[in-house]
Chains A and B, each alone.
Chain A
Amino acid sequence: MTKRQRIVVVGHGMVGHRFAQAAVERGLTETHDVVIFGEEPRAAYDRVALTSWFGSGSDALSLLPGGEYDDPRVRLVLDSVVTEIDRAARTVTVVSPPSAVDDLLANPGAVTVHEYDVLVLATGAAPFVPPVEGRGKDGCFVYRTIEDLEAIRAASAAATSGVVIGGGLLGLEAANALVQLGLDTHVVEMAPRLMPVQLDGAAGATLVRHIERLGVSVHTGVVTEAILGDHSEGGAAVTGLRLRQAGTEAGAPTEVVDAQVVVFSAGIRPRDVLARECDLEVAPRGGVLVDEQCRTADPHVFAIGECAAPGGTMYGLVAPGYAMAEVVVDALLDGPGTFTGADMSTKLKLLGIDVASFGDAFATTDGALELTYADAVAGVYKKLVVSDDGRRLLGGILVGDASAYGVLRPMVSSGLALPDNPEQLILPASSGVQLGMPDEAQVCSCNDVTKADILHAVTEQGCETVADVKQCTRAGSTCGSCVATVKNVIEDHFASVGKVVDKGLCEHFRLTRQELFDVVAVHGYRRFDDIVAAHGTGRGCDVCKPAIASILASQTSSHILEPATAELQDTNDAYLANIQRNGTYSVVPRIPGGEITPDKLIVIGEVARDYGLYTKITGGQRIDLFGARMEQLPAIWRRLVDAGFESGQAYGKSLRTVKSCVGSTWCRFGVQDSVGLAIALELRYRGLRSPHKLKGGVSGCARECAEARGKDFGVIATEKGWNLYVGGNGGATPAHARLLAGDLSTETLVSYLDRFLMYYVRTADRLQRTSTWIDQLDGGLDRVRSVVVDDSLGLGAELESEMARHVGGYEDEWRATLEDPAKLARFVTFVNAPDTPDPSIAFTTERDQIQPIAPALIPVGAPA
C-alpha cells in the first residue's frame, strides 16, 4: 500500500473551495489528504454576489456554512497566512494568529511549517489601487472582502456622498452598494464608456442612461488627479476627488466631486508574490505561468484561479477558475483534462439593469457583420455579431433586456446555424420565440453545466424542480443568471414527454392563482359558480374557494359576506373573527399604528369585562379579546363600533397592522414622524385582501425600534426621507426585508407601496408570503424594483389606480354586517335554539382570566 499523499491548498476563496469539493467528489481524497489555508477569518463565500451581503449577511453568502468539509481527510485552517514556499524541501511556512490579542506584540503569531507532496496555489487576486495622490486617506476602500464591505458600511453611516473609481463590472457593483447605503453616488471611469471591456460605445451610452436615472452620476473619460482630504482635525479624512479630462496635461482645468467615501475598483492584480519569491515564472502582466493542466514548471506545484495565468492569460471570472480547479483534480487522478481558455461571456444585473456581453462582442473576426437594435426610449440596445455568410452567431451585446441571452450564448459555443432572419432574435417581437438549444449547450457558465447535464438530472436522478437540479448539478447556484433557462429546460422536457407539471391550485383548478386572478379580471367574473363552470371541475374545496374569494375581494371591494362569496370564506373571514381551539373566536379592533386614546382603552376593557373575555396585547400593537361565542360577536362589535373602533381584519389574509415606534414626536433620536406615517399606511391598506397576511412597520430612525425590516413592508426614516424595505416576515421561515428604494418623499413612498402591494396581490401564489414571492420571481428583488420603481412594465399607473379603487371602496366589515339583518342571521349557534349557547364550550380561570377547557376528544378509530 502506497503512502497517502498530502495536498496543501493556499487560499480558500471560491476556487480553492471548488478544488476541495471536486477532490472529495471525484475520490481524490481516497489517496490524498487535503489541507487548506485561508487567510480570511471565514470559509469561502460567494464573492460574485458580494453586494448582497448588505441585504442578507455573511451567512447567506457562505459556500461552506458549517466551516468544515464532510470528508475528514480535508482540513480547513482559517485565519492563516502562507508566507513562504520552500520548493526544494516541499514545505510551506504558515503564520496563524496569536491565541490572545494581548500576545500580539510579544508573539506576532504561531509559525508552523507544513510538508506537501502537491501544492495548489489559489491565492486569487487583489484590487489594484492606482497611485493617486491621497489614496491612503481615511474613507478610501477597496471592494473585495466582507471586511471591506463592513468598513464601507461603517464609513457610510456618517457620509452623504461616495465615489467609485472604475466603471467596470465590479465598479458598478460597488456603486450599487453605495446607493443601497443611501449615498449620493458617483462613478468615475477613465475610458470613454462604462464597462469598456464588455460593451461598445452605444451599449455603454445606453447603460449610462439607465444608471443616471437611478440617481448615480457617471463621469467617463476622466482621470482622478487627487483625492482631497481634510486636515483640520489632525486626521486625513476624504472630502472629495479632483478630476481632469483624460488626455489633458496636468494643470488643465479640473472638476471637484465631494465625497466622504471613495471605493477603488480599477481592476485586479494576481496575487502571485509567493510564486515569485520561490522563483516560479510569472506572466508579463502577472499571474503564475502554468500549462494546460495548470501545472507550473515545478511538477509538484499547481496554480488555479485568478492567481494563475494559463498560457500567459489571467482570467478575472469565477467560471474559468472553477474549470481550472477541476482540471487539477483530474490531473492528480491521471485524467486527460486540460484548460484551454474560457468563455468570457458575462450577464449580470446591475442596479436592476440587464447587461450581457458574450463571444466576439467587438466583431474582431474577419468579415464579421453586426446587427443592432436600439430603442432609446425604453433604454434597450442589442447587438448580434454574425459570420460573413450570416450562418453563425459569433457574439453579441445586450443592454436593458437580456432575455435572449439564454438562447444566444449557447448558439455561439455550439455553432448552431442561425435562422434565416437572425434579426428576429433581437427584435422585441421575438421575445417569446423558443429556439431549440443543442444538448451540449452550456447553460450555467459558472459551474459548466450543459443542457444535457440538466436533462440527465431530470431523467436519471429524479429531479423535478429548479431547486432539485440546483442541488444535483450546481447549475444556477453561483450567479443565478441562468435560473430562468434552467427552469425552461426542465419544463420543456416534461412537456415533451407529456408529463403535466401540475401548478394548479387543487383538484378543481388546473390554473395557478395568478392565472385565476387574470381570468377573473379578463372575464369580469363575480361568482364562484361561473368561474368553476368555465375553468374548473367539481364544486371546489377549502383550498380554491378561499383563494377565489380573495381574488374577488381584490377586484371588487364588495363585502365578503355578500351571498355570492359568503360560503367561499374560511371560518375566520366568514365570522370576521379568529377561530380558537375550542370553537370560540377572538375579536381584534383596529388600533392604527398602535396609537390609542385612554377613552378607547377603557372601552376595550369594559367590553372584555362585560363579556368575560380574556385579553392579551399582541405583537402587532393591538389588544386581542379571546373567548367570544359566535353568537356574541355582533353585540361585542356593536359596543366597539359605537366607540369608534372598526375591524382590525385580524382574520383572513389581509393587511394586519403597521407597527411603529414613537418617532420624532417624542423620541430624541427620531428624524421623521413614524406614528403619523404608520397610521396613514394602515388606514390606506386596511382590508386589502392578499395571498397571505400582510404586515408593515415604520421606524422613525435607523435604530429601528418598530422592527420594520421584519415586515412585508418596512419603512425607516432617514434625514432625507424614507427608506422602503420589502419582503420581510416572521413566522416559520423568518426573512429580513431588503431595500427597495431610498430617501423617498412620502408621496413617492406611497406610490411605490401601492404598486408593490398590488403587484404582489396580482401575481403571488396562494399563501405565498412576500419574501418567497420575491425569491421566486424571475429576477427576484431586481425584478420587483424594475416594475415598482422603474415602471419597466408600464403597469405603475394601473396598479396605483387599482389601489385607489380599494382605498375608495373600503368599508368597515363589522359596521356593514351590523347594518344588514341578512348577514347577521348567520351568527346563531343553533338554528332551532338561538338562545342556547354551545354546551361544549367551557372555561376555567388562570391568572384571573378565562382559559378554554379542552373538549374531550373522541378517540380515533371509535366513531361516536
Chain B
Amino acid sequence: MTTVAVSLTPVCAADAIPLEGGVAALVDGAAVAVFRSFDGSVFALSNVDPFSGASVLSRGIVGTRGDAPVVSSPMYKQAFDLRTGACLDDAAVRVTAYDVTVVDGVVHVGPARVVS
C-alpha cells in the first residue's frame, strides 16, 4: 500500500461516537460512516450500503463475526468488516474503507484506502 499526499478531515470528537455505534460524516462531499468498536478503535467506511444504495451504514449494529469487527447494514443485514470494508456475506462486494486516525481526541478521516 502506498499513500501519497495525505489530507485529513477532522470530523468529530472520538467520544461523540457511541461505543459500538456509528455516526455519518461528510468528507469531501462523500458520506462516510465512522464507527467505534468495543475497545475504542475507530474505523471509517463509505456510508452507502451497496445492496440498497441508501446512505445508512452508520446506523447499523456494530459487533463481531469471529474475530472480525463488523457492522451489519440496517437494510438487509449483510455484515461488513470494519477494517477493510469487505462484505462477509458476499465475497464479490466491498465498500470503500477510509484511513482514520484520532489526534488529541479528534477523529480525522483520511483518503480512501487502496486495497490490493
Asked whether B74 lies within 8 Å of A581 as measured between CB atoms, the reply is no
Q: How far is the CA of A832 from the CA of B52 in the complex (A)?
A: 24
> What is the bound-complex CA distance between A839 and B32, given in angstroms?
13
B63 touches A840 (CB 8 A): no
Instruction: Mark contacts of B41-74 with chain A using CB atoms, 8 A cut-off: 1 yes-contact digit, 0 otherwise.
Output: 0000010101111111001111111100110101
Q: How far is the CA of A538 from the CA of B20 in the complex (A)?
A: 12
A858/B74 in contact, CB under 8 A: no
16 new A-B pairs (CB below 8 Å) besides A538-B64, A539-B38, A630-B59?
Answer: A538-B66, A539-B69, A540-B61, A571-B59, A831-B17, A831-B24, A832-B9, A833-B26, A838-B31, A840-B48, A840-B55, A854-B53, A860-B90, A860-B93, A861-B92, A863-B85
Is the Cβ of A864 less than 8 Å from the Cβ of B95? yes
Which parts of B3-45 form the interface with A (CB within 8 Å)?
A: 9-12, 16-21, 23-26, 29, 31, 34, 37-38
A538 touches B63 (CB 8 A): yes
Report whether over half of chain A's contact residues are helix, strand or loop; otherwise say mixed.
Answer: loop
23 residue pairs bridging A and B, Cβ less than 8 Å apart: A508-B63, A539-B38, A540-B64, A541-B70, A542-B61, A545-B61, A545-B63, A546-B61, A567-B18, A567-B19, A567-B20, A568-B61, A582-B53, A630-B59, A829-B24, A830-B24, A830-B26, A833-B25, A855-B52, A856-B53, A857-B51, A858-B48, A860-B90
Is there an interface contact between B50 and A840, defined as CB atoms closer than 8 Å? no
Given contacts A538-B63, A854-B53, contact A831 B77 (CB under 8 A): no
Within the complex, what minimum Cβ distance (angstroms) separates B44 from chain A? 12
Chain A nearest CB: distance from B71 CB in Å?
A: 9
A841-864 interface bits toward B, Cβ cutoff 8 Å, 1 = contact, 0 = none? 100000000000011111011011
Interface centre among A540, A857, A858, by most chain B C-beta atoms within 10 angstroms, is A858
Q: Which residue of A lies closest to B68 (CB)?
A: A538
B85 contacts which chain A residues (CB < 8 A)?
863
In the complex, residue of chain A having the shortest beta-carbon distance to the beta carbon of B74: A571
Residue B75 at the chain A interface, CB threshold 8 Å: yes
How many Å from the CB of B34 to the closest CB on chain A? 8
CA distance A541 to B17 in the complex (A): 18
Judge if B83 is at the interface, Cβ distance under 8 Å.
no
Q: Are B31 and A840 in contact (CB under 8 A)?
A: yes
A566 touches B31 (CB 8 A): no
Tell me if B65 and A567 are in contact (CB < 8 A).
no
- Per-residue CB contact flags for chain A residues 562-597 toward chain B (1 = under 8 Å, else 0) read 010011111100110001011100000000000000
CB nearest neighbor in B for A540: B63
Contact residues in B for A829 (Cβ distance below 8 Å): 24
Residues of B within 8 A of A571 (CB): 56, 59-60, 74
- Does A507 make an interface contact (CB < 8 A)? yes
- Write out, one digit per residue, whether chain A residues 807-835 have a CB within 8 A of any chain B CB (1) or not (0): 00000000000000000001001111100
Q: A836 interface residue, CB < 8 Å from B?
A: yes
Query: Assuming the A-B contacts A582-B54, A860-B92, are A541 and B24 also in contact, with contact meaning beta carbons closer than 8 angstroms in the complex?
Result: no
Which of B64, B90, B95 contacts A539, CB < 8 Å? B64
Partner of B53, one of A541, A630, A833, A858: A858
Instruction: Give the residue of A567, A836, A863 whose beta carbon is less than 8 angstroms from that of B62.
Output: A567
Chain A residues with Cβ under 8 A from B25's Cβ?
Answer: 830-833
Q: Does B100 contact A (CB under 8 A)?
A: no
Contact A541 B54 (CB under 8 A): no
Select from chain A the residue with minimum beta-carbon distance to B90: A860
Asked, given contacts A507-B65, A545-B61, A830-B24, whether A863 binds B11 with beta carbons under 8 Å apart, the answer is: no
- How far apart are the CA atoms of A568 and B74 in the complex, in Å? 12
The 8 A CB mask of B82-97 against A (1 = contact, 0 = none) is 0001000010111110
Closest B residue by C-beta to A583: B54
Q: Give the distance to chain A from B46, nearest Cβ to Cβ, in Å.
A: 6
Whether A541 lies near B31 (C-beta < 8 A) is no
Q: Which residues of A are found within 8 Å of B92, using beta-carbon distances?
A: 860-861
Bound CA span A830–B17, Å:
12
Q: Is the CB of A840 within 8 A of B53?
A: yes
Contact indicator A581/B54 (Cβ below 8 Å): yes
> Is the beta-carbon distance between B53 and A855 smaller than 8 angstroms?
yes
- Give which listed residue, B16, B23, B70, B74, contacts A579 with CB less than 8 A: B74
* CB-based closest 3 A-B pairs: A855-B53, A583-B54, A571-B74
Judging by beta carbons under 8 Å apart, are A541 and B61 in contact?
yes
In the complex the two chains form, is B72's CB within 8 Å of A863's CB?
Answer: no
Query: Judging by beta carbons under 8 Å apart, are B16 and A581 in contact?
Result: no
B46 pairs with A864, CB closer than 8 A: yes
- Asked if B54 and A855 sit within 8 Å, CB to CB, the answer is yes
- Chain A residues lying within 8 Å of B72, measured Cβ to Cβ, are 541-542
Q: Which residue in B11, B55, B63 is a CB contact (below 8 Å) of A542? A: B63
User: What distance in Å separates the Cβ of A440 from its nearest Cβ neighbour in chain B?
Assistant: 46
Question: Which of B12, B37, B62 contacts A831, CB < 8 Å?
Answer: B12
| Residues of chain A lying within 8 A (CB to CB) of residue B52 | 581, 583, 855, 857
CA distance A830 to B59 in the complex (A): 12
Q: How far is the CA of A864 from the CA of B112 in the complex (A)?
A: 10
User: Which chain A residues lie closer than 8 Å to B9 at the CB level?
Assistant: 832
Q: How far is the CA of A861 from the CA of B26 in the complex (A)?
A: 25
Do B55 and A583 have beta carbons less than 8 Å apart?
yes
Nearest CB in chain A to that of B109: its residue: A832
Option from A538, A830, A854, A861 in Cβ contact (under 8 Å) with B31: A830
Q: Give the chain B neighbours of A544 by CB distance below 8 A.
A: 63
Please give the distance in Å from A551's CB to the nearest CB on chain B. Answer: 16
Given contacts A581-B54, A836-B26, A855-B54, contact A541 B63 (CB under 8 A): yes
Pick from A507, A542, A839, A840 the residue with the most CB of B within 10 Å: A542
Counting chain A CB atoms within 10 Å of each CB, the highest count among B9, B17, B61, B62 belongs to B61
B96/A567 in contact, CB under 8 A: no
A836 to B48, CA, bound (A): 16
Instruction: Known contacts A540-B64, A863-B94; decide if A857 and B53 are in contact (CB<8 Å).
Output: yes
A854 to chain B, nearest CB (A): 7
The answer to whether B56 and A579 touch across the interface, beta carbons within 8 angstroms, is yes
- The distance in angstroms between the C-alpha atoms of A546 and B38, with both chains bound, is 17
Closest A residue to B112 by CB, please name it: A864
In the complex, chain B residues whose CB is within 8 Å of the CB of A583: 52, 54-56
Whether the Cβ atoms of A863 and B95 lie closer than 8 Å is yes
For residue A826, give the distance in angstroms from its CB to the closest CB of chain B: 8
B94 to chain A, nearest CB (A): 4
Instruction: Report the minimum CB–CB distance from A50 to chain B (whole Å).
Output: 44
Residue of A nearest to B86 (CB): A863
Hey, which chain B residues are within 8 Å of A841, CB to CB?
55
The chain A residue with its CB closest to the CB of B78 is: A542
Name B37's contact: one of A539, A570, A856 (CB within 8 Å): A539
Q: Is the CB of A831 within 8 A of B31?
A: no
Whether A567 and B16, one on each chain, are in contact in the complex, defined by CB atoms closer than 8 angstroms, is no
Contacts of B11 in A (CB 8 A): 831-832
Please indicate the chain B residues that have their CB under 8 angstroms from the CB of A860 in the complex: 50, 90, 92-93
Question: B63 contacts which chain A residues (CB < 8 A)?
Answer: 508, 538-542, 544-545
Give the interface centre of B20, B54, B66 by most chain A CB atoms within 10 Å: B54
Residues of A within 8 A of B74 (CB): 570-571, 579
User: How distant is the Cα of A826 from the Cα of B75 in the complex, in angstroms?
Assistant: 19
Task: Please provide the chain A residues from 520 to 540 with a CB less than 8 Å away from any CB of chain B in the complex.
Answer: 538-540
- Bound-state CA distance A435–B93 (Å) is 53
Q: Which residues of the partner chain B approach A569 to less than 8 Å between Cβ atoms?
A: 61
- State how many angstroms separate the Cβ of A536 from the closest Cβ of chain B: 11
Contact assessment for A864 and B96 in the assembled complex, using a CB-CB cutoff below 8 Å: yes
Which has the most chain A C-beta neighbours within 10 Å: B63, B66, B72?
Answer: B63
A630 to B11, CA, bound (A): 19
Bound CA span A507–B67, Å: 11
Q: How far is the CB of B30 from the nearest CB of chain A, in Å?
A: 9
Whether A579 contacts B31 by the Cβ 8 Å rule is no
Look across to chain B and name the residue whose beta carbon is closest to the beta carbon of A833.
Answer: B26
Q: A582-B54, A832-B11, A840-B31 are in contact. Are A541 and B79 (CB under 8 A)?
A: yes
Q: Are A831 and B16 in contact (CB under 8 A)?
A: yes
The smallest C-beta distance from B97 to any residue of chain A, in angstroms, reads 10
Query: Could you tell me the distance between the alpha carbons of A570 and B74 in the complex, rounded to whole angstroms?
Result: 7
* A653–chain B nearest beta-carbon distance, Å: 15
* A579 x B53 contact (CB < 8 A): no
Residues of A within 8 A of B31 (CB): 830, 838-840
* Bound-complex Cα distance A854 to B54 (A): 9
